[in-house]
């Protein structure tokens, strides 16, 4: 099915417009450095993405089949069982800013790269809404939850095809390079879904509280019924 390469993805590259940075205090330690980097690297950055349409071929309790590949996952079953199509995707912030490490603090450069990734993911969703009319787009990423581990990246890469045209490679441990890269399945009409709601980890990056009833509904229902 159709494979779409967005290279580059145009993002708002501005301190006042990027979600992670717009609230940064002007007297904070790294503000001036971040500002200087962003003001001077607009031409350098090349965030990019691949999208690929994919039919949901079969859904059975606890598994979903896409393009002949069956994924064993209660989460995927719960989220995709009534859908006909989804979009496989790989999105990367790129590694163009790495050359600045040494001149600037590496951790500050990494913060900016992560910010670029967040904005790129947002713009990819905007693109899908604008072109295909999908709304409330959510994503399922291998490795985000134990139910669908990172090893599934190997199948996603086979299904999407070569990702070297956006400079992304899959490593032997199934994580991707460059570092600020995500892969997964995008699907429509799930405004409230976010992995944190189903994740029990203690984590400073948590964006929503753990939702125990939803967790039990998706992951434990069968076990409870069988028990």
Residues in CB range of 9: below 8 A, 6 or more apart: 47, 48, 49, 91, 120, 123, 124, 127
Q: With respect to ligand SF4, which residue has the nearer C-beta, 100 or 138?
A: 138
199 interacts with ligand SF4 by CB under 6 A: yes
Residues 6 and 51: beta-carbon distance below 8 Å: yes
Using CB under 6 A as the binding rule, the residues of this chain from 156 to 195 that contact ligand SF4 are 195
114 interacts with ligand SF4 by CB under 6 A: no
Among 42, 203, 223, 227, binds ligand SF4 (CB under 6 A): 203
Residues 51 and 128: beta-carbon distance below 8 Å: yes
201 interacts with ligand SF4 by CB under 6 A: yes
10 interacts with ligand SF4 by CB under 6 A: no
Among 46, 85, 122, 206, binds ligand SF4 (CB under 6 A): 206
Residues in CB range of 166: below 8 A, 6 or more apart: 5, 7, 48, 49, 50, 90, 92
**Window 24-53: contact mask with ligand SF4 (x via CB under 6 A):** ------------------------------
Structure token pair of residue 216 = 């039990």
Among 59, 108, 150, 196, binds ligand SF4 (CB under 6 A): 196
Distance of alpha carbon 134 from alpha carbon 182, whole angstroms: 20
Beta strands 181-187 and 138-140: pairing type? Answer: antiparallel
Among 89, 144, 180, 181, binds ligand SF4 (CB under 6 A): 144
Q: Which stretch binds ligand SF4 (CB under 6 A): 7-15, 104-112, 129-137, 202-210?
A: 202-210
Residue 67 neighbours by CB distance under 10 Å = 16
Q: Which residues bind ligand SF4 (CB under 6 A)?
A: 144, 195-196, 199, 201, 203, 205-206
């Amino acid at each position: 099915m159709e494979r779409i390469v967005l290279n580059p993805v145009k993002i708002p590259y501005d301190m006042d417009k990027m979600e992670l940075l717009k609230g940064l205090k002007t007297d904070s330690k790294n503000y001036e450095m971040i500002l200087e980097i962003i003001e001077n690297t607009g031409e350098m950055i090349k965030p990019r993405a691949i999208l690929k349409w994919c039919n949901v071929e079969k859904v059975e309790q606890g598994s979903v089949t896409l393009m002949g590949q069956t994924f064993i996952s209660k989460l995927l079953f719960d989220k995709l069982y009534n859908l006909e199509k989804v979009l496989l995707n790989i999105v990367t912030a790129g590694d163009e800013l790495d050359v600045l490490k040494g001149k600037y603090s590496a951790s500050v450069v990494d913060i900016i790269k992560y910010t670029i990734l967040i904005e790129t993911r947002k713009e990819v969703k905007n693109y899908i809404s604008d072109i295909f009319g999908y709304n409330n787009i959510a994503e399922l990423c291998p490795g985000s939850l134990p139910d669908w581990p990172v090893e599934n990246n190997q199948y996603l890469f086979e299904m999407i095809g070569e990702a070297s045209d956006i400079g992304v490679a899959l490593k032997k441990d199934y994580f991707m390079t460059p570092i600020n890269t995500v892969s997964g399945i995008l699907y429509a009409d799930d405004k409230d879904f976010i992995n944190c709601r189903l994740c029990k980890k203690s984590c400073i990056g948590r964006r929503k509280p753990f939702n125990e009833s939803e967790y039990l509904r998706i992951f434990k229902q069968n076990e409870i019924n069988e028990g």
